Each structure stands twice: as structure tokens, then as C-alpha cells.
Amino acid sequence: MKNLALLFVLACFLTSCNVTESIVFDNNMGGEYVTDFDLAPMLEYAATNRPPSQEGPETEKMDTTIVFNDLFKTHKDSIASLSAEQRADLEKLRGMTLDVEMDEEKNIFKFNMSKKFKEFDELKTIYEETDEAMNYVKDIGNKNGQAPQQQMDELSTTEEISYAFKDNTFSRFQPSTIKMEGGLENDEESIEGEDDEFMMQFDEIFSNSFYTLRYKFPKKIKSVSNAGAMVSKDGKTVTYKVSWDAINRDASIMNLDVVLED
């Protein structure tokens, strides 16, 4: 299942298919952060393009929840024997929960990463925490090592995101908002040995994929910086859906400012 493994890596780290990033804030601007990934189109592609020699009666199926705080308890002795650097990486996973559901037969492949936070400042490190959790997802998607390690290393980078809340204004900002010249072309060149047909089909999946931001606040929204953003009837939730093609042309469109009423 080489294509499935490679597609999984592409989906996660070229950020294709459908992704929903949501935050629900409480009255103290604490709350819960959740990012959902729906990779069903990738699974469907892998199933229809699997070589006959790899066809078989068995299909992959998984439905699991990983509560990282539980892992710290059950594996405390093993963790204690790790290097300081490895323990520091694991510490980023405290409070994180990872849900993974995959059923090839039913064309289901989705996962989400979530974390509750008491204070807004805890969001300042959420990028590092979700990035570390993504390493676990990567291992699940390529558990048998079908994708070459070089590709895994080159593509295992997620986009950094920072959040701020000042003067009643919530801001989402991607520090690296330099326009990607040539779109997917640069990433395609780094994937050695892949044929044109594969990449053309991947481009088709990519063009029909979206990234959605959804933020719910304790106060009503006064204004939103992006014209394409929609505000709910109660005035407290903003939803902003953008195609990956548009993001690929200009990543700065994912920067967002939401001003709340006093």
C-alpha cells in the first residue's frame, strides 16, 4: 500500500483534503482547541489505484483514542529513561487527545487533535503541541514503512500558526505568509520517483479541498477582517472556509482579525 502511505503523508504535510480548525472560548477566554482532518478522498484514491498484486480480502480498519496524559502515567518508567530532548518533546503532548478513525471498506479516514486550555496564553504553544501529535499520526499512516524516509523527512512540517487577543481583538496569524511560487510544483519536485499521472490526480484532490476556520466567542462579533467570513445568527461564531488552491496562491488569506463588542 505504498500509495496510501505516501498519500497520507502528502495529505497531512502538504495540508490537503478537508481540515477544520475550531476554537470554542469561554467567558475567561479559555476553552477548547480542535483540528479535524478528513482524508477520505486520499483513501479512495489509494483504493482505486492499488496494484492488483496488493489486492486482498483484508482492509485496514482503526478506531482509537489516544489520551496522552494517560500515556504519561502508564509509561512513566519508560519515559524517565529517555533523553532530556525526547522528554521535552513528549511534554508538548500533555493535555492533548488524538482520535483516529479509518475504515477502507467504508471509505472513512479522519482524525482530530484536541486540547482544553484554561487561559488564552496557552494557545501560544498549541502549534508545537499539534505538530508533535502529528508525528504520531504520521507513524500510524505509515506504520509499515512504505513511504521512503527521505520523503517523510521532507514533508513532515506543519504550518506555524500564532494567536493573540488584545484590545478585544482576536488574531490568527501565520508567520510564514510568503506567497508560494509555483504552487505545488516545488513540493512535487522533492517527491522523487512519482509519475505524472499520480501528481495530476493528487492535484485534482487538492483543488477540491478546503480549510475551514470556526471560532466561537463569549461576546458578539463587531467586525471580521476577511470579507468571505460568515458570522452566525447569534453573532458569536465566525466561520471562514477557504480552498487549498487559494491558500496555495497566497497563504496570507488565512490571517484573520475578529473584533468583539465591548
Q: What proportion of the chain, given as a percentage, has pLDDT over 70?
A: 65
> Partners of 97 in the beta sheet?
67, 114
**Residue 109 host element (H or E):** strand 108-117
Q: Grade residue 60 by pLDDT with cuts at 50, 70 and 90.
A: low
* The C-alpha cell that represents 215 in the structure block: 471560532
Residue 245's CB is within 10 A of a number of other CB atoms, namely 15
Sign (positive or negative) of CA dihedral 131, 158, 238, 171: positive
Could you report the per-residue pLDDT of 160-188, keeping only the tens digit for each? 899 999 999 999 998 876 544 444 444 44
Which pLDDT score, from 0 to 100, does residue 75 have?
85
Whether residue 149 is predicted with pLDDT greater than 50 in this model: the reply is no
Cβ–Cβ under 8 Å, residues 218 and 229: no
Whether residue 107 is predicted with pLDDT greater than 90 in this model: the reply is no
Cβ–Cβ under 8 Å, residues 223 and 178: no
Give dist(CA 193, CA 142) in Å, integer. Answer: 18
Whether residue 43 is predicted with pLDDT greater than 70 in this model: the reply is no
Higher pLDDT, 262 or 239: 239
Which pLDDT score, from 0 to 100, does residue 259 have?
98
Which pLDDT score, from 0 to 100, does residue 115 have?
95
Whether residue 257 is predicted with pLDDT greater than 60 in this model: the reply is yes
pTM of the model: 0.77
Which pLDDT score, from 0 to 100, does residue 45 have?
59
Which pLDDT score, from 0 to 100, does residue 92 have?
85
Tell which residue, 237, 236, 242, 239, has the closest CA to residue 254: 242
Could you report the per-residue pLDDT of 7-18, keeping only the tens digit for each? 444 444 444 578
**Mean pLDDT score of the chain, rounded to an integer?**
76
Q: Where are the domains of the chain?
A: 2-158+181-212
DSSP string covering 176-196: -----TTTTHHHHHTSTT--H
For residues 62-68, give the mean pLDDT.
86
Cβ–Cβ under 8 Å, residues 171 and 256: yes
Whether residue 67 is predicted with pLDDT greater than 80 in this model: the reply is yes
> Would you mind telling me the total number of residues written for the chain in this entry?
262
Could you report the per-residue pLDDT of 189-230, keeping only the tens digit for each? 444 444 555 556 556 656 678 899 999 999 999 999 999 999
Which pLDDT score, from 0 to 100, does residue 49 have?
58
Which pLDDT score, from 0 to 100, does residue 47 have?
58
Q: What proportion of the chain, given as a percentage, has pLDDT over 90?
A: 33
